Amino acid sequence: MSTNSSTNVAHEEEHGHEHVHDLRDDYGSKLGMWLFLFTELLLFGGLFLLYMAYRFEYFPEFQLSAKSLKIWMGGLNTIILLTSSLTMVLSIIALQRRKIKASIYWLITTISFAFGFLVVKYFEWSDKFSHGIFPGGEELALKTQGEKIFYGLYFSMTGLHGLHVIIGMIILTFILVFIVKGKVSPDRFVLLENGGLYWHLVDLIWIFLFPLFYLLH
């Protein structure tokens, strides 16, 4: 990585323009991105910790509540996110190989998958809402303490994750515009890489959320 940023500098000096940008530090910006991702891991880690403690205390109620979640919907969203992670990687590789159009195409695909995830989530949540199961809902209020906690964790954890999907979509859309405008280019792609890292984190968290909420029998 350090060789990359220095060769990029050399590359630009050779062409004798864009001297203002010679100070850029791809290594540092990627390291900064990782540090941010670590704070995200600790944020979600805290919620997973709560899940662990309450699952131990209310295991039968957790099992009962989890049966109301549709495995195929969670499974479909898993496939969507895993595939979107692949298209994200393909977008970065395409840009590195100077295939800008392909890179744009893969990035649009990634953003579309993100939207698809939210559509599935929308149907999932509206189904729950229509049965009166949502924080403060009248049906949920009648349930046992353990079930309330399960749904509370379900809505807050998948909700926070969903928020990250929306933020990811916004970030990737900005990067898409930057690629079209040439601000992110085959010589300057660290922003796309960092956006990709954020997107993979969203995938990573879902990898744990899916079995914990949907696959409890």
Enumerate residues 89-128 that contact another protein by CB under 8 A.
89-90, 92-93, 96-98
Residues 47-86: x where in contact with another protein by CB under 8 A, - otherwise, as a string: -xx--xx-xxx-------------x---x--xx--xx-xx
Least distance (Å) between residue 208 CB and another protein: 5
Q: Which of 25, 32, 43, 45 binds another protein (CB under 8 A)?
A: 45
Which residue lies nearer to another protein by CB, 139 or 187? Answer: 187
| Interacting residues with another protein between 164 and 193 (CB under 8 A) | 187, 193
Minimum gap (Å) between residue 20 Cβ and another protein: 19
DSSP β-bridge partners for residue 188? 185
Instruction: For another protein, give the closer residue by CB, 38 or 129.
Output: 38
Task: Name the 3-class secondary structure at 49.
Answer: helix
How many separate helices (H) and strands (E) can be counted in the chain?
8, 0
Choose between 140 and 188: whose C-beta lies nearer to another protein: 188
DSSP track, 94-133: HHHTT-HHHHHHHHHHHHHHHHHHHHHHHHHHHHHHHTT-
For residue 144, the minimal CB distance to another protein (Å) is 20
- Residues shown for the chain: 217
C-alpha closest to that of 112 among 145, 88, 92, 134: 88
**Nearer Cβ to another protein (75/135):** 75
Which part of the chain contacts another protein (CB under 8 A), choosing from 1-9, 16-24, 125-133, 138-146?
A: 1-9
Residues 6+ apart with CB under 8 A from 75: 210, 214
Q: How far apart are CA 150 and CA 147, in angstroms?
A: 5
- Verify binding: residue 26, another protein, rule CB under 8 A: yes
Bridge partners, 185 (sequence order): 188
How would you class 95 by CB atoms within 10 Å of its CB: exposed for 0-12, middle for 13-18, buried for 19 or more? buried
Q: Output the CA torsion sign for 85, 86, 87, 88.
A: positive
Give the footprint of another protein on this chain (CB under 8 A): 1-4, 7-8, 11, 14, 26-27, 30-31, 34-35, 38, 41-42, 45, 48-49, 52-53, 55-57, 71, 75, 78-79, 82-83, 85-86, 88-90, 92-93, 96-98, 187, 193, 196-197, 200, 203-204, 207-208, 210-212, 215-217
